[in-house]
Structure 1
Amino acid sequence: MGHGMDNKAKVAVLLNLVFVLILLIWPLITAPKFQVILDKKTVPLGGTLRIEAHLPGTPASTKVTVVNVQLNRTMYTKDLGPTNDISLDLKIDEDKYRIGLYAVRVSALIGNSIVEEEALFHVFGGDPIELSLQVDNPNITAFLNETSEKQYAEVSTKIKAKVTMGGRPVKRAKLLVVSLDRNTTVTDVVYTDDNGEASIEWKANATENKTYTVVVQAIKP
């Protein structure tokens, strides 16, 4: 009777030891090998994400990959070679990224093993781009000389453009300009300066009283 109790006690102690051993090993199995650090968890379209990581040991190679989680599509990849310190800026281009969830995955070859960790971030819609236009001289008066061989008057003016986003000037925004009327010319492509401003020159050979139309489209850099 006493011998049976001893066996039960031994089994109970053994089970407890196994359970404790599992508890001790489990954190070692699941603990991340390194941490991928993002400077923000949400990034607007057109914004920039800072990616940092410090890897253990001396990796033979490292790679950073950005994946669209919903589509399982690779958006960006960069091989960084044998480095254990990663620090880079990722531009969230509007023509490439969409609103949604993304994963930054950092993988490294350390010894004979590939280790990988990731961090998640969301992309959301940024502020809309705003364009304001001001014509230097919106009403131009010209005179035709009926006795001249040239039966038109040369007129010109300048259009001042300013591009902002969220109230802030947009540097190097591209402006596409089209004059819709015949016998007119215009600066067809200009870029904004550090203040988000640009000047567009318009010219026409006027033969009559007329309202002219110029279309300007602003594109983010």
Structure 2
Amino acid sequence: MRNGTTYSDGASSSTSLSSQQDVEDDRMIAVVLSEEYAKLDGAVGRRLTNLAPVAVRSYDYNLQHVPRIILHFPSTSDSNLDYQRLLQRINVYGLYEVKVSGDGNCQFRALSDQIYRSPEHHKHVRKEIVNQLKDNHALYEAYVPMSFKRYYKKMAKSGEWGDHVTLQAAADKFAAKICLLTSFRDTCFIEIVPQHQAPARELWLSFWSEVHYNSLYELQDAPPQLKPKKKHWLF
């Protein structure tokens, strides 16, 4: 009801259909990712084995990453809608999200959790990434629209938000394939791979578009203290 007027159930039905379509879209994406990556190391395939095969729309996934700094942040209303979409995808893929502090260090905390099983080594992770930037400026400076020295000095400060350039530097530094499950409407999955070496590990992050990063695990691989507790019913 709004302004004394009662609306029909058409709006809620439309919302329900839209939500159902989003789930089906994500299932389409999952099939493609399963086929593409199961042959590499089986990790993604295992995450997606519970999803039934359906048709694929090619524009729903993105396997290429272009490093860039953050120039635009979504509005509060857009952010809330994006996070609901992200949660839906996390559930569809059977993953568990380890939430880290949103203090400006979330990208580095999430990477720390994936590498060291604790977000508390984020300062070390940031330092390693900044050193990677400094020592290999030719790989990254073309993506930064400012003095590169100014950029990496700014990025060395605690609380400075990580961006897509620091993600590429992290992939290069830690020889890692970084897998982002995102809240973007038309790009569910982004992969960042090392530029000059084969990846030796996978790091899984959730990416609430330009707002926040968290760490992702398969449910069975989540740290024991963080696994959802089973409910016990007494009759």
TM-score range, shorter chain: under 0.3
Q: Which has the higher helix share?
A: 2
Relative contact order (C-alpha < 8 Å, sep 6+): which is higher?
Answer: 2
Highest CA radius of gyration, 1 or 2? 1
Q: Which has the higher strand share?
A: 1
Give TM-score scaled by structure 2 length: 0.19
Give TM-score scaled by structure 1 length: 0.20
